[in-house]
Chains A and B, each alone.
Chain A
């Protein structure tokens, strides 16, 4: 047995890993490849290479009419500076913005909860812990409950933001909490206090910056999950610009699948960009360098 595992162990593990990674990446790769195809009716896309799908998604093609037929909202024009402008579909920006709003709420609420739970012993600590992880329930259930509890928020952007933040809060709390628990939190805090920093100053200049990697991974997870959240959006959204997940679902089965593929690919790009951005912010943004 040992001889066998020594002989084949490493190649076997490598093979399993390769197969798994390929299986996971294939849909993503296929979608991106498909976004450059003229048609995609069979298993594989065909008629390469065209940038038309991307151009239409980005609103650079002339055929605004075809876009309209596909159901896009009017394009949003973003000034990038130096006379350059970037046009993007409203649905994409809408979802990006909603998810960022959710992350902001999670940062303001989730980080202190994670801190309290890892730092202090208090009555009802288990309850706070349980309640902060409870929203892991499926989005449909939370959506229905949400509508019942806050009918006034139904169909509003703010409602979606609050809902996303609630739904994804456990990921933020868990990521930050594990970060706090991996460092000598009490000693860090007490060192800063002994050196003359008040508690709020200690929290902002020592505690939070030291947990930055947990906060950044929490923010990335929350953002990507919220930006693509379908179930909750489906229940709560009513009218106006659609969240991206709903929009894609509505059009994914149409013949304009290649355009949907381009939109999905663009979403991938945004996810990657935001992830890189948050990471860069995480390593530099929190620095309190320069005494």
Chain B
């Protein structure tokens, strides 16, 4: 496995800029998620690393070797697609062994290696089947086995679970995450699903409009979003306006300590769990909509300043009344600056 360095990559198609000044480093053995809405440039970035796109500017390197102009077949990469893209003219075993065949490994050896990988992925015994006869989850495992068979320097996964149903996705997510960790694979994982990115990736690069908005661990990205876009894209974010003066944040309906935050007008991100239903609370609100979700109630409430926010409240403490009282956990708030630079962290209200 290798370290991947993407340096100041820019990609222009005709007159559209797909990717602008993207610099990312994936250390050996790390899974880096590329997360963002469709058209944000995440797939273009992946395809640049694969070698199917040549960057207009910038370079791609594996370890210290510049591979910017190396054709895909010579890069030694593993690719896994949403569509699985299995070769229907070959059996499962031949699919997995295809890369080894291209490398001139002898038949007995590559068959053994294919069996071993299928076994590892929990689908041993399917070697002689036709790919079309397998379920979606099995096909995806075959795709992964095929990519891993060549011991790639980097594994590139493009929305690998988007076609699977929710339950299978959850299961495969855990299994795949563990497997990739175990194998110590360096991987780029493209997805638009933040839950998938959070559970699969060591770090996440949130992309928007061709730019990287923030790179960080799942926790950093969720708890300390660099800007309103990241806050909104990763999880649910309630963006509130406030003013910081003399180390205090004034939200209009509530004042909380905010030592260290820059003075002046501030954009504040409040996650749904920042508020708690509490009959002794100081913030009176009106519940306009509530959906019971079992372990929590998802409620839309109107704050005293008429702002509507989405909250995740505990059914045990939430009454059925329309008017309830809330308390705010100041440590769960995050002051951000909409205009901050991509890779700088927003100021955080100290605990």
Residues of A with Cβ closer than 8 Å to B? 184, 187-188, 190-198, 201, 206, 209-210, 212, 286-289, 291
Contacts and interface: CB of A to CB of B under 8 A. Distances in A.
B272 interface: no
B114 to A, nearest CB: 8
Contact of B93 (A192, A288, A291): A291
Contact of B77 (A194, A201, A291): A194
Contacts of B88: 210
B81 A187 contact: yes
A187 B83 contact: yes
Given A196-B76, A201-B102, 18 more contacts: A184-B83, A187-B81, A187-B85, A190-B72, A191-B79, A191-B81, A191-B85, A193-B73, A194-B152, A194-B156, A195-B98, A195-B99, A196-B74, A206-B87, A206-B89, A210-B87, A287-B89, A289-B94
B89 A197 contact: no
Nearest to B47: A190
Nearest to B102: A196
Give the 3 A-B residue pairs with the shortest CB-CB distance, closest first.
A195-B99, A209-B89, A196-B102
Given A289-B94, A291-B97, A291-B111, A194 B79 contact: yes
Contacts of A196: 73-74, 76, 99, 102-103, 150
Interface of B: 50, 52, 71-79, 81, 83, 85, 87-91, 93-94, 97-99, 101-103, 107, 110-111, 143, 146-147, 150, 152, 156
B51 to A, nearest CB: 8
Contacts, number: 78
Contacts of A197: 73, 98, 102
Contacts of A195: 73, 98-99, 102, 146-147, 150
B94 A291 contact: yes
Given A194-B77, A212-B89, A291 B110 contact: yes
Given A184-B83, A289-B90, A190 B111 contact: no
Contacts of B87: 188, 191-192, 206, 209-210
A91 to B, nearest CB: 38
Contacts of B150: 195-196
Contacts of A187: 81, 83, 85
A193 B72 contact: yes
Contacts of A209: 87, 89
B99 A289 contact: no
Contacts of B83: 184, 187
Contacts of A191: 79, 81, 85, 87, 143, 146
B113 to A, nearest CB: 11
A216 to B, nearest CB: 13
Contacts of A289: 90-91, 94
Given A210-B89, A288-B90, A198 B81 contact: no
A205 to B, nearest CB: 8
B95 to A, nearest CB: 9
B85 A286 contact: no
Contacts of B152: 194
B52 A190 contact: yes
A194 B107 contact: no
Most buried by A among B94, B103, B111: B94
Contacts of A198: 73
Contact of B78 (A194, A206, A286): A194
Nearest to B83: A184
A179 B78 CA distance: 26
Contact of A184 (B85, B97, B101, B110): B85
Most buried by B among A192, A196, A287: A196
Residue of B50, B85, B88 with most chain A CB atoms under a 10 A cut-off: B85
25 contacts: A187-B81, A187-B83, A190-B72, A190-B85, A191-B81, A191-B87, A191-B146, A192-B98, A193-B52, A194-B50, A194-B72, A194-B152, A195-B102, A195-B147, A196-B102, A197-B73, A201-B102, A206-B87, A209-B87, A210-B87, A286-B89, A288-B90, A288-B94, A289-B90, A291-B94
